[in-house]
Amino acid sequence: MTSESRKKSIAFIGLGLMGGPMARRLARAGYPITVWNRDTAKAAPLEAEGAVVAASPAEAVRDADIVFTMLTDGNIVGAVLFDGGVAEAMKKGTVLVDTSSIAPSIAREHSAKLAAIGIKHLDAPVSGGVVGADAGTLAIMAGGDADVVSGLSEIFAVLGRVTHVGPSGAGQVCKLANQQIVAVTIGAVAEAMILVQAGGASREAFRNAIRGGFAESRILELHGARMVERNFEPGGSSNNQLKDLKTVMALAEELSLQLPLTQAVTGEFSDFVFEGGGEKDHSGLLLHFENINPKF
């Protein structure tokens, strides 16, 4: 890491399941970092890592060169940036890196509004879950100016692997496509678990048997294990999975696309959340399939 990049100060806003470990990695990499979270209990542990806990998001960003946001949705990102005084508090030339998962149109709107006041913007959502955030192995999909992405390469390297995927909003489009694959694959693995057990085989043995074959995937490895162990504490909640799927379907309608697999799994996640599964991990979709099958 160069001495110049070490001098860059970072603000991190949003310290939930993903933001907390991401901010921790940046602090441990030696970056001066100021953090803020609405629930201060989530910010306090980072003080032990050398982070400064700010009293407000505007205070957090005032002296930062780079500002990361990891918030629930586009409305909250907009409220923090433009209603909470963050945009006004940032100095000209600051780079805002929004790692939240929001609608592409909202990301482009935020980018334009920030550019008008001299702030650079990247939409850079991530994939890899809490495991990837802890390990620094996130897949980071960055939309915006390629030179801005390149200029932050050493900082991104602390968090995972960054790929510039296109202009403003393109990062969010790629994240939505990622969430399609995740949701459909979780659905496929969960349905296979239902079939295997109903047919008299062991779910655990089934998963072990097909590892390394054509059905191998990160979903089978991690979420398949969750289904076998029945561990549905959220790494990625079903509420957030459904939010992203609804955004996918809205974009598909805007683009006049038919996405039947995504539409079907969106309906299943909607039912699961309605049944009370919203705070369970998205691999908990298995519980919904068990609920609708009388054998279980």
| pLDDT string in tens for the chain (296-residue length) | 444 445 699 999 999 999 999 999 999 999 999 999 999 999 999 999 999 999 999 999 999 999 999 998 999 999 999 999 999 999 999 999 999 999 999 999 999 999 999 999 999 999 998 999 999 999 999 999 999 999 999 999 999 999 999 999 999 999 999 999 999 999 999 999 999 999 999 999 999 999 999 999 999 999 999 999 999 999 889 999 999 999 999 999 999 999 999 999 999 999 999 999 999 999 999 999 999 998 87
**Residues 62, 150 share a domain:** yes
Residue range 146-194, pLDDT digits in tens = 999 999 999 999 999 999 999 999 999 999 999 999 999 999 999 999 9
Tokens 């908990």 found at? 284
**Residues 204, 127 share a domain:** no
* Sign of the alpha-carbon dihedral angle for 86, 87, 88, 92: positive
**Residues 210, 162 share a domain:** no
pLDDT score, position 235: 85
pLDDT score, position 164: 98
Count: domains in the chain? 2
Please give, one letter per residue, the 3-state secondary structure of the chain.
CCHHHHCCCEEEECCCCCHHHHHHHHHHCCCCEEEECCCHHHHHHHHHHCCEECCCHHHHHCCCCEEEECCCCHHHHHHHHHHCCHHHHCCCCCEEEECCCCCHHHHHHHHHHHHCCCCEEEECCEECHHHHHHHCCEEEEEECCHHHHHHCHHHHHHHEEEEEEECCCHHHHHHHHHHHHHHHHHHHHHHHHHHHHHCCCCHHHHHHHHCCCCCCCHHHHHHHHHHHHCCCCCCCEHHHHHHHHHHHHHHHHHCCCCCHHHHHHHHHHHHHHHHHHCCCEHHHHHHHHHHHCCCC
pLDDT score, position 2: 46
Residues linked to residue 139 through DSSP beta bridges, in sequence order: 127, 161
Chosen domain end from 166, 196, 215: 166
CA-CA distance, 189 to 224, in Å (whole number)? 7
Residue range 217-229, pLDDT digits in tens = 999 999 999 999 9
pLDDT score, position 294: 86
Residue 160: closest CA among 18, 64, 53: 18
**Residues 224, 199 share a domain:** yes
**Residues 266, 150 share a domain:** no
Residues linked to residue 127 through DSSP beta bridges, in sequence order: 139
**Residues 159, 34 share a domain:** yes
**Residues 21, 138 share a domain:** yes
pTM reported for the whole predicted model: 0.89
CA-CA distance, 160 to 22, in Å (whole number)? 10
**Residues 253, 184 share a domain:** yes
CA-CA distance, 99 to 214, in Å (whole number)? 32
Chosen domain end from 166, 184, 216: 166
* Sign of the alpha-carbon dihedral angle for 49, 279, 196, 179: negative
**Residues 225, 159 share a domain:** no
Tokens 């205070």 found at? 59
Chosen domain end from 135, 166, 197: 166
Residues linked to residue 237 through DSSP beta bridges, in sequence order: 281
CA-CA distance, 111 to 3, in Å (whole number)? 29
Q: Is 236:281 a contact under the CB 8 Å cutoff?
A: yes
pLDDT score, position 3: 43
Catalytic residues: 175
**Residues 90, 57 share a domain:** yes
pLDDT score, position 6: 56
Q: 33: domain CATH number?
A: 3.40.50.720
**Residues 178, 129 share a domain:** no
The rounded Cα 51 to chain-centroid distance in angstroms is: 22
**Residues 11, 81 share a domain:** yes
pLDDT score, position 111: 98
Q: 183: domain CATH number?
A: 1.10.1040.10
The range of the structural domain enclosing residue 37 comes to 3-166
